[in-house]
């Protein structure tokens, strides 16, 4: 069964994964499993690398289609493989909203080290990764479960803390810039200014960009993240999206008004730049005309 799971994940270009006993992971939301109605015994954990190139005004993960779609497709494929071998098994896949602490599971599974910015850092893909997991009621030994390893931490060079726009990683702020861009309603002038300063309509990658482990990020082998990619989001592109197309984007979960507001905030910065350039051009032209007269 272990080899079949491996073949399934490699078929989706997922090469970093492990299986653990559910008893070894940290359950953070028992109600999820209570609703599922079965007793979990094992969990498959895998990393989904997403770096597909640089972006202009979006966090790198948000340029692609919503990663939850990819995780759902992989989990369904895994479930099909497992059900073929164990037809009566109970299986449930997750990504983000999971009954377990996914980062902790990935760390004790030896899939990466813990970064000071709270992210998992993988040796091959840096911190540009998502975590997917599949919980089952199958005996962990039957799935070839691994023995948990001791959690390793990064070197603590401080680069991510120094780069943090709001200072929250230094214990100085209340929210990260990414959270600010995802907040509904009115933003303060200081928050709007931060967005303009770092030119972000959604998310923030400053702590990741500064990390030595991300110095030369490896492109993801997962084709999904190249599909319909938008490295530079504009109001024209956004307004041209149908509701269905919009629903497939990572920034859709906070509804259109939020991302529209953010783009409008950035457009004010561009307007100021254009006006400033026009002022310099006009001044230079007037100066040239005066010199020509004399």
As annotated, the active-site residues are: 96
In this structure, are residues 180 and 166 in contact, taking their beta carbons and an 8 Å threshold?
A: yes
CB atoms within 10 A of CB 16: 20
First-to-last alpha carbon distance for the chain, in angstroms, is 89
CB of 161 closer than 8 Å to CB of 168: no
Question: With contact defined as beta carbons under 8 Å apart, do 10 and 78 qualify?
Answer: no
Cα–Cα dist 84/248, whole Å: 30
If phi over 0 gives left and psi between -120 and 50 gives alpha, with beta otherwise, what is residue 17?
A: beta
CA distances from 156 to 29, 129, 161, 177 (A): 30, 20, 9, 21
């Amino acid at each position: 069964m272990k080899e079949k799971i491996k073949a399934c994940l490699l078929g989706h270009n997922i090469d970093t994964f492990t299986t653990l006993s559910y008893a070894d992971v940290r359950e953070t939301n028992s109600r999820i499993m209570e609703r599922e109605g079965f007793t979990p015994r094992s969990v498959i954990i895998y990393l989904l690398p997403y770096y597909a190139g640089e972006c202009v005004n979006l966090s790198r993960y948000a340029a692609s289609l919503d990663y939850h779609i990819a995780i759902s497709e992989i989990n369904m494929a895994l479930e099909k493989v497992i059900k073929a071998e164990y037809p009566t098994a109970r299986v449930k896949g997750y990504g983000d909203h999971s009954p377990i602490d996914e980062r902790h599971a990935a760390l004790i599974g030896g899939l990466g080290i813990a970064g000071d910015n709270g992210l998992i850092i993988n040796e091959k893909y840096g911190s540009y990764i998502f975590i997917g997991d599949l919980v089952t009621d199958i005996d962990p030994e039957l799935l070839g479960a691994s023995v948990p390893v001791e959690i390793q931490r990064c070197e603590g060079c401080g680069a991510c803390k120094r780069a943090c726009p709001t200072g929250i990683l230094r214990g100085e702020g209340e929210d990260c810039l990414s959270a600010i861009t995802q907040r509904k309603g009115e933003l303060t002038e200081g928050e709007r200014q931060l967005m303009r300063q770092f030119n972000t309509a959604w998310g923030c990658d400053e702590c990741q960009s500064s990390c030595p482990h991300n110095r030369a990020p490896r492109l993801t082998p997962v084709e999904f993240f190249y599909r319909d990619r938008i490295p530079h989001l504009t109001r024209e592109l956004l307004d041209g999206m149908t509701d269905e197309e919009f629903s497939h984007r990572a920034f859709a979960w906070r509804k259109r008004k939020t991302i529209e507001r953010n783009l409008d905030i950035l457009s004010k910065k561009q307007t100021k730049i254009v006006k400033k350039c026009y002022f310099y051009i006009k001044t230079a032209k007037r100066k040239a005309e005066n010199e020509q007269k004399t």
